[in-house]
Amino acid sequence: MSRRFDRRSFLAAGGLMILAPATARADDGRKRGQDILGQVDRVRNPGHAFRVKSTLVEYRQGRPQDQVVLDILAKPSPSTRQLRNLARYLAPARDKNKLFLMDGGSMWFYDPASSASVRISPQQRLLGQASNGDVLAANFAQDYDATYIADETIKDADRNLTDTWRLQLIRKAPGATYNKIDCWIQKSTFYMIKGRFFADSGRELKSIYYRDFRAELGGMRPREALIVDQVNTALVTKMTFSDYQATDIPELWLQRDYLPRLRIK
């Protein structure tokens, strides 16, 4: 028994010695990934409440279809720092004044026609091929666990070769839209220039390229996101972000029962 125990102990110790550097590397990868992602979030979102207009145009076989325009208000949660969003349709005419609210834990859709708020899932798409989560602002570091994977040189949306860090994000918060995201971060700027987004099943849903970074609200923010649909390959969606404004958003506005009361100026 003693001899067998010794052999086990020896094997276990040997295994630990082999695994230890790998575990340490994994820990380093996670720490580095999370650090990079924190910087990325600071580029993507200001640290305070803000408002932005988002215009979505879907291109089918290269031809632009009708557009959806949203007035988006986003505010970080004081406790979790996750961004909570309130989006109002400005166009098309049949949808105007419809609202949806994402408060981290849940997503609600309000239609003035039925005077009712309906619970929806983050994956449910109200905006063509773009998920609700693509349009709304999110703090990735709060929603996902990041791991640094490798240094890679890739082409950005304008086909320029760019040195990047490749990160893998795995859903941490239950309300996060995607199970997994592979993303590429431009080293010189911390811009997220590309992401590949995956469903729970592991299937790739879409790739998104971010470009046209400009100074907005005290930082450099993307003005365009180009969504290449991997489920229906005939589709590309362009999201344009404009009219960034720092604004005050009362906590009450982020209550689902307040949606029928909302009167945004």
Partner 1 sequence: MTALSALLIAKTATAQTSTPEDDLDRLDRAVSTARPASAQTNPHLPPLNLRAGDTLDLAFSRHSFTIPPPVQNSPKAINRLYLDMRWQTPPAGDFGVHLSDRINLVNTSKQAGSTCDCLRNDLRELYTTWSPGDAIFVDLGWTNFRNGVASAFNPTDVFKDRAVLDFDTADASVLREDRLGPLMARGQYVFDKGSITAAYAPRLSDPDPFGEPNSAVSFRTGRINAGERFILKGNVRLGRDFAPEVLVFKTHGDWRLGVNLTRGLGDKATAYVEAAGGSRRTLAADAIQFGILTGALPAQATTPVGDDGKQVLAQLAAGVNYTTNANVTLSVEYDYNGAGLSPDDWRAWMKLGAAAPGLLVRGQFWYAREYAQQFQEPFLQHNIFVRAGSDNAFIRDLSLSGLAIVSPVDGSAIIQGGLDYSINGGYSFGLVAFSSVGAHDTQYGSLPSKFGIAFSISYYIK
Per-residue DSSP letters for 146-170? Answer: EEEEEEEEEE-TT--EEEEEEEEEE
Distance, CA of 167 to CA of 192 (rounded, Å): 10
Nearer to partner 1, 2 or 201 (CB): 201
Q: CB of residue 35 vs partner 1: minimum separation in angstroms?
A: 26
Does 21 contact partner 1 by CB under 8 A? no
Continuous segment of H or E residues that includes residue 143: helix 140-143
Q: CB of residue 45 vs partner 1: minimum separation in angstroms?
A: 20
Does 177 contact partner 1 by CB under 8 A? yes
Of the candidates 166, 172, 187, 181, the one whose C-alpha atom is nearest the C-alpha of residue 134 is: 181
Of the candidates 83, 95, 123, 45, the one whose C-alpha atom is nearest the C-alpha of residue 254 is: 83
Q: Which of 14, 15, 47, 112: binder of partner 1 (CB under 8 A)? A: 112
Q: CB of residue 169 vs partner 1: minimum separation in angstroms?
A: 14
Does 105 contact partner 1 by CB under 8 A? yes
C-alpha dihedral, 19 to 24 to 25 to 26, nearest 10°: 90
Considering only the stretches 5-13, 17-25, 105-113, 185-193, report the one whose residues sit in contact with partner 1 under the rule CB under 8 A.
105-113
Considering only the stretches 3-11, 13-21, 34-42, 175-183, report the one whose residues sit in contact with partner 1 under the rule CB under 8 A.
175-183
Q: Which 193-222 residues touch partner 1, going by CB under 8 A?
A: 199-201, 203-205, 207, 209
Nearer to partner 1, 17 or 93 (CB): 93
Contacts of 238 (CB under 8 A, 6+ apart): 56, 57, 59, 224, 225, 226, 227
Q: Taking the CB of residue 223, how many other CB atoms lie within 10 A of it?
A: 15
Nearer to partner 1, 39 or 67 (CB): 67
Q: CB of residue 56 vs partner 1: minimum separation in angstroms?
A: 10
Q: Which 27-66 residues touch partner 1, going by CB under 8 A?
A: 53, 55, 57-66
Q: Which 114-173 residues touch partner 1, going by CB under 8 A?
A: 114-116, 118-126, 128-129, 154-155, 157, 159, 171
Q: Which of 34, 189, 230, 247: binder of partner 1 (CB under 8 A)? A: 230
User: Percentage helix, strand, coil, to 5, in the chain?
Assistant: 25, 45, 30
Give the rounded distance of the alpha carbon of 142 from its chain centre. 10
